């Protein structure tokens, strides 16, 4: 088991009413799973992903990540935890425009204790793995969408996380590029990385081992 959410609630108060963003979520994710979260706009998919990624907090319930109770952890400890074990992939890639492909991939390593030589080796390994060695000195604006997302995934993977969180990773791509990215996720999953993705597309969801449907913050089936 990599993580477990128990009776988790998240709400906002709007005009005297309590609006639930996440409503009594119970979810257990085992190591090696590839989970797809689906649901209509505003159903809480991204919120759930952010809570799992520890970017967002919640109001009630428990969250256990690798046997650590996230809800009781201090900010700093929590930051260390996700820095170590979680990688993010975004719909609009969110690469840093001012940095080259190489530097973008290197960024997460800067915030951990790696020597320059170690970083070089790790980045080189990633470039190699995704066949983008030739593009390492280009800037994001010089790449196609699919290539940018490749870099985004390489960046998420460079520090060898246990869990990848992907928020509509193919949302900005055409179908061929999307296909390619999903194949890559499949391959990574086969290599043992746990993946949770948010998606609108049934075909993308089909790559996963399990699909969770959300509506108005509630898990409607399991």
Partner 1 sequence: MIQNYFKIAWRNLIKNKGYSAINIGGLAVGMAVVLLISLWIYDEVSYNKNHENYDTIALALMHKTENGKTRTRRPMPYPLGNELRAKYSDDFKHVVMSSFYWDYVLSKDNNNLSKYGGFMESDALRMLSLNMIYGDWDGLKKPNSIVISQSTARTFFGSENPVGKHMKIDDKLNTTVTGVFEDLPYNSEFHELEFIAPWELYTISYPWVKEARDKNLWDNNSYKLYVQIADGKTMASVSETIKTVVQDNVPGNNKRSLRELVLYPMKDWHLQSEWKNGVNTGGFIQYVWIFGFIGVFVLGLACINFMNLSTAQSEKRAKEVGVLKSIGSTKKQLIHQFLSESFLVVVFAFIIAVLLVLLVMPAFNALADKHIIFPFNNIFFYLVSVGCIVATSFMAGSYPALYLSSFHPVKVLKGTFKVGKSTTSFRRALVIAQFTISVTLVIGAIVIEKQITYSKNRPIGYQSEGLITISKNTEAYKGKYNTLRNELIKTGTVVEMCEASSPLTDVWSTGGGFNWEGKDPNFVTNMGLFCISHDYGKTIGWDILEGRDFSRAFPTDSTAFVLNETAVNYMGLTDPVGKTIRWGKKKYKVIGVVKDILRESPFEPTKQGVYMINYDNTNFVRLKLNPEKPISEALTTIETVFAKHVPNVPFEFQFVDETFAKKFNTMERIQKLSNLFAFFAIFISCLGLFGLASFMAEQRKKEIGVRKVVGASVFNLWKLLSKDFVKLVVLAIVIATPLAYYGVNSWLNNYTYRTQISWWIFVVAGMGAIGITLLTVSFHSIKAAIANPIKSLRTE
Contact region for partner 1 (CB under 8 A) — 9-17, 66-74, 163-171, 192-200?
A: 163-171
Check binding of 103 to partner 1 (CB under 8 A).
no
Check binding of 204 to partner 1 (CB under 8 A).
no
Q: What is the rounded distance in angstroms from the CA atom of residue 124 to the CA atom of residue 201?
A: 33
* Binding footprint of partner 1, residue count (CB under 8 A): 27
Nearer to partner 1, 56 or 68 (CB): 56
Check binding of 95 to partner 1 (CB under 8 A).
yes
Q: What is the rounded distance in angstroms from the CA atom of residue 194 to the CA atom of residue 186?
A: 10
Check binding of 102 to partner 1 (CB under 8 A).
no
Contact region for partner 1 (CB under 8 A) — 3-11, 35-43, 108-116, 176-184?
A: 108-116
The sign of the CA dihedral 66, 67, 71, 75 is negative
Contacts of 165 by beta carbon, 8 Å cutoff, 6+ apart: 49, 52, 53, 86, 87, 88, 89, 196, 197
Check binding of 112 to partner 1 (CB under 8 A).
yes
Contact region for partner 1 (CB under 8 A) — 3-11, 75-83, 127-135, 191-199?
A: 75-83
Contact region for partner 1 (CB under 8 A) — 92-100, 125-133, 136-144, 187-195?
A: 92-100
Check binding of 96 to partner 1 (CB under 8 A).
yes
Q: Are 161 and 89 in contact (CB under 8 A)?
A: no
Q: Are 149 and 88 in contact (CB under 8 A)?
A: no
Contacts of 179 by beta carbon, 8 Å cutoff, 6+ apart: none
220: its two tokens? 């409607």
The residue ranges that bind partner 1 (CB under 8 A) are: 50, 53, 55-56, 76, 79, 82-83, 88, 90-92, 94-98, 107-108, 110-112, 155, 159, 167-168, 171
């Amino acid at each position: 088991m990599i993580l477990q959410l128990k009776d988790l609630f998240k709400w906002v108060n709007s005009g005297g009413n309590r609006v639930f963003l996440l409503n009594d979520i119970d979810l257990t994710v085992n190591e090696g799973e590839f989970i797809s979260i689906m649901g209509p706009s505003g159903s809480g998919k991204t919120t759930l992903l952010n809570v799992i990624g520890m970017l967002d907090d919640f109001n009630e319930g428990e969250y256990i990540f690798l046997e650590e109770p996230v809800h009781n952890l201090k900010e700093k400890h929590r930051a260390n935890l996700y820095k170590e074990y979680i990688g993010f992939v975004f719909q609009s890639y969110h690469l840093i425009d001012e940095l080259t492909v190489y530097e973008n991939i290197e960024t997460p390593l800067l915030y951990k204790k790696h020597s320059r030589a170690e970083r070089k080796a790790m980045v080189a390994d990633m470039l190699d793995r995704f066949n983008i060695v030739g593009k390492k000195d280009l800037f994001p604006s010089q790449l196609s969408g699919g290539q940018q997302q490749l870099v985004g995934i390489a960046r998420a993977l460079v520090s060898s996380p246990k869990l990848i969180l992907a928020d509509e990773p193919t949302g900005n791509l055409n179908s061929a590029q999307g296909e390619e990215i999903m194949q890559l996720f499949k391959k990574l999953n086969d290599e043992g990385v746990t993946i949770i993705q948010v998606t609108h597309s049934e075909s993308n969801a089909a790559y996963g081992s399990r699909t969770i449907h959300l509506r108005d913050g509630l898990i409607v089936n399991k």
